[in-house]
Amino acid sequence: MKIISMDVMSTGVIAYYVLVASRDGLFAAIVSDVKNDAYSDPVPQAVILTAIVIGFSIQALMLVGVMKLAQDNPTLETNEIEKNNTP
């Protein structure tokens, strides 16, 4: 549940940035004959795409760790898992 909640929070932050960055009247920075000075900045788009990829890879890594813990410990209690794995 903690992993899923972290994913939901990450998705919420990304959705918030997309909402803030969306503006009417902006065009993509493509070379053309049309004279328009209202171009959208591609840097925030690249940052958000990077955040999505990093979030996905971190979630996959955490799920692999949980799968390994589930194989070693047949309980859902975090106190018992910590007690079994402390030296």
Number of independent structural domains in the chain: 1
CA atoms within 13 A on the CB side of 11: 8
Q: How far is CA 7 from the centre of its chain?
A: 6
Range of the domain at 13: 2-85
Q: Which pair of tokens denotes residue 29?
A: 């920075």
Find the farthest-apart pair of alpha carbons in the chain and give their distance in angstroms, rounded: 69
Q: Tell me, what's the pLDDT at 25?
A: 64
φ and ψ at 42, to 5 degrees?
-80, -10
Q: How many residues does the chain have?
A: 87
Q: How far apart are CA 65 and CA 37, in angstroms?
A: 49
| pLDDT tens, residue by residue, 13-61 | 988 888 877 766 666 667 667 676 677 777 878 888 999 999 999 999 9
